[in-house]
Amino acid sequence: MNGLRTMALMVTLTLMLVFIGGFLGGKTGMTFALVMAFGINFITYWFSDKIVLKMYRAKLVNESEAPELYSMVRRLAQKAELPMPKVYMMEQDQPNAFATGRNPEHGVVAVTTGIMRILSREELEGVIAHELAHIKHRDILVSTVAAAIAGSISYLAQMAQWAMIFGGRSSDDERGGNPIAALVMMIVGPIAAMLVQMAISRSREYGADAGGASIAGNPMHLANALKKLHMASQRIPMHANPATSHMFIVNPLTGGGILKLFSTHPPMEERIARLESMRSGS
């Protein structure tokens, strides 16, 4: 059911991109949007993992460099019936982690140096299991494509805005609606795309929490880790790209008030409550 919901949300995002392209630019705009969607999917499928790892200057580590972490990932990957993912380390004080890779055969688990300092072994196992669940569910590719398409919708809206400022479309182009409707579309389109992206990211996080608890064998390992990570993320800043913030186990960008409504992560209290209910069996 969760997979069908995510697929429906992805289709909605893609159709939104094409619809907005057609609304703002007629057949030309629709064609441009389709080409953009194809390019996004191609680049995302083949290069998204390399891009994000380079963005955070993550370094590949082997068993001799990080024996405890490496053996933990290998043991949990075997338990999850996954190929051994590559293990990366990021020199970041904020305790955090993410997974990437287009499929389980190309999976990557990346952790910060900060997370290695504050979590117990059991808590770190809960985090690693969460990231392996993302790999097993193929969440990373879905979330990255969603972020890219949402970004493209915003880009189309910006292009339309500049086109209106500098004269709009030529008279021989197809109808594109009145200027007020186009203005509404430019405002509402990116917001709607962001909301769909948030729905995808939040749905995937709940699924990875449940899957990680199953892999680790004790949901409280992850619940206790999330409590520590959430508190630390409020105190220790991290220079993270907002386009990739949804990939981390906890949001690396601090913000309260109304910003919480637009977070790509579910409320931490709800995540922890769900894990605790798994322990109690309710």
Instruction: Note down the domain range covering 159.
Output: 2-280
d(CA 244, CA 272): 23
- Helix then strand count (H, E) for the chain reads 8, 4
Pairing mode, if any, of strands 108-112 and 86-90?
A: parallel
The predicted-structure confidence for 36-71, as pLDDT tens digits, reads as follows 777 776 777 788 788 889 989 999 999 999 999 999
Give the residues of the chain that fall short of pLDDT 70: 1-10, 13, 23-25, 41, 143-148, 150-152, 154-186, 188-200, 254-264, 280-282
Residue 21: predicted pLDDT: 74
The predicted-structure confidence for 99-141, as pLDDT tens digits, reads as follows 998 889 999 999 999 999 999 999 999 999 999 999 998 887 7
d(CA 75, CA 245): 27
**214: which 2 tokens?**
């199953």
Residue 273: predicted pLDDT: 96
d(CA 93, CA 164): 45
The amino acid that residue 252 corresponds to is P
Residue 49: predicted pLDDT: 84
Cα angle 45-50-51, degrees, rounded to a multiple of 5:
90
d(CA 45, CA 56): 19
Annotated active-site residue 131? The verdict is yes
Predicted structure pTM score: 0.77
Residue 257: predicted pLDDT: 47
Q: Which of 105, 122, 125, 131 is catalytic?
A: 131
Residue 78 is inside which H or E element, if any? helix 67-79
Cα angle 42-6-30, degrees, rounded to a multiple of 5:
50
Count the domains in the chain.
1
Residue 260: predicted pLDDT: 53
